[in-house]
Structure 1
Amino acid sequence: MNEKTMQLMKEMRLYGMHRAFTTTMETGGPSTGYTNDELIAYLVQSEWDDRHNRRIERLTKSARFRYTAVMEAIDYRPSRQLDKNLVRRLGSCGFIPKRENILITGSTGVGKSYLASAIGHQACSLGRKVMYFNTAKLFTLLKTSKADGSYPKQISKLEKQDLLILDDFGLKPLDNINRHALMEIIEDRHGKRSTIIASQLPVEVWHDIIGEKTLADAILDRLVHTAHRIDIKGESMRRKLKNKN
């Protein structure tokens, strides 16, 4: 009877329940001390946990983060001038249902990408859909998609993400195609979804990087006024790690 039950669990893809039931049988079955109600509750909870964990794995994998980053590993040493309360509050991802943005700036290697990725990982753990992109690579992808006809599909996919992370923004000025693509992305997400942008350049010079005054004004107006801003100070974390090694 137990073998048949476990086979049916597999066929119905109740993998968490199957694993829990197998463990229960291996550790003595009824002698484990569960009442019928407790056993059912245990099996249902095991199935829920399994599905929840697999969903987080799928979300994390599809996000394609640059780093495997966690909020607990963020360095708050005084030289970095990070507002610990602000970072922790953003790490709770309450900004996402509020449809707010985060702008992270600082010189190369100070940990902008890590911080953005840590927040992104936390969002995935809460069941949010996230995508991480190096900004230049995203623009290359969008240009290619225009050539093969998949551009509307790519833009629609970006629009549907609860959190979009654009890293290394502004390494070079935008051309006309990329400028309009950025405008479309930001316009589609404005007031609907949250965006994190990480850049080596201070926000004050983004206008020049975007170029074309009217579009730059429109893009920054949609980004900056609903944004939490984090400017990370200090020396390169990568250089510190290299020197330690």
Structure 2
Amino acid sequence: MKAAEKIQMYLKVLKLQQIAEVYPDEAEKAAKAKRSYQDFLLRLLEQQVNARIEGSINRQIRSAGFPAIKHLEEFDFSFQPKLDEKLLRELAGLQFLNESKNILFLGPPGVGKTHLAIALGLKACQARKRVLFYTAEALTQMLAADDITGNLQKRLVSLSRIDLLVIDELGYLELSQKTATLFFQLISKRYERGSIIITSNKPFEEWGVIFQDDVVAAAILDRLLHHSYTFYIQGNSYRMKNIRPK
């Protein structure tokens, strides 16, 4: 077996796939440029490390469960001129995660709440933070199922340990008293332990209707708003802006 073949075999055994892919070209370039062995090895290792980081980020993005990929850079702030663009770009620096602060986006359908929530979640994934995205309906259904099977506490502990929990569409459907209680348990478990981003079409004064209990709603809001940023987004729907009446 030739030396080049042995190198490829050993790289695959060591699971250094990226080096295995670039080694022949890098070896040829190094020989032509008369690079040192140290420089040649450094270039190979840099590409392997970068590939692993990229792979880790891509896996995190997939496991987060985003319904779509949305970037902050794609958001049309000119369509929502009253939105605090400067603050949102500061939040994209993710300091709010280090401080376990929450972010709430409130407003009617179609104004960009979910886009912004996903965009910040994506920034967190790119920083190699653990992120999970759920609609409020899917989340509460999951908690209710866990409660029935006896896995609720295990689930709450698991959800309390991730860096960022994104809950979308809170308020589109009213919760039962049981699921409202389960939602409260989750918020309490994450209180001052990890950040939450919530989007809702309902103002805070209507959250008692969502949870069918003003006391539970007040307790949830108390914990969410203690350390938080709230954005009230008004205006027309993005999805409707290009539709012309016939």
Contact 1:207/1:220, CA 8 A, preserved across alignment:
no
Deviations 1:191-219 (A, max 9, x none): 11000000111223224422334332221
Deviations 1:126-158 (A, max 9, x none): 000101101011111222223333333332322
In the TM superposition, residue 243 of structure 1 has moved relative to its aligned partner by 4.6
- The aligned amino acid for 1:169 is L
Identity %: 28
Pairwise CA RMSD: 1.9
1:192 paired residue number:
193
Contact 2:26/2:40, CA 8 A, preserved across alignment:
no
**2:4 is the alignment partner of 1:8:** no
Q: Please give the alpha-carbon distance, in whole angstroms, between the structure 1 residues aligned to 2:129 and 2:101.
A: 14
Instruction: Summarize the Cα distance change of 1:235–1:21 in structure 2 as closer, same or farther, 3 Å threshold.
Output: same
- TM-score of the superposed pair, with normalisation by structure 1: 0.92
Q: Please give the alpha-carbon distance, in whole angstroms, between the structure 1 residues aligned to 2:158 and 2:20.
A: 35
Instruction: Summarize the Cα distance change of 1:127–1:241 in structure 2 as closer, same or farther, 3 Å threshold.
Output: farther
1:149 paired residue number:
150
Runs (5+) with no aligned partner, structure 2? none
4+ residue segments displaced more than 6 Å: none
Q: Please give the alpha-carbon distance, in whole angstroms, between the structure 1 residues aligned to 2:80 and 2:120.
A: 21
1:129 paired residue number:
130
Aligned residues: 243
2:20 paired residue number:
18
1:71 paired residue number:
72
Contact 1:134/1:168, CA 8 A, preserved across alignment:
yes
Which has the larger displacement, 147-156 or 127-136?
147-156
- The aligned amino acid for 2:224 is L
Q: Please give the alpha-carbon distance, in whole angstroms, between the structure 2 residues aligned to 1:109 and 1:204.
A: 21
Instruction: Summarize the Cα distance change of 1:129–1:211 in structure 2 as closer, same or farther, 3 Å threshold.
Output: same
- TM-score of the superposed pair, with normalisation by structure 2: 0.91
Contact 1:76/1:84, CA 8 A, preserved across alignment:
yes
Which has the larger displacement, 188-197 or 167-176?
167-176
SS of 2:98 mapped into structure 1: coil
1:217 paired residue number:
218
In the TM superposition, residue 160 of structure 1 has moved relative to its aligned partner by 1.7
Q: Please give the alpha-carbon distance, in whole angstroms, between the structure 2 residues aligned to 1:84 and 1:101.
A: 17
In the TM superposition, residue 82 of structure 1 has moved relative to its aligned partner by 1.2
Q: Please give the alpha-carbon distance, in whole angstroms, between the structure 2 residues aligned to 1:125 and 1:233.
A: 29
In the TM superposition, residue 224 of structure 1 has moved relative to its aligned partner by 0.9
SS of 1:95 mapped into structure 2: helix
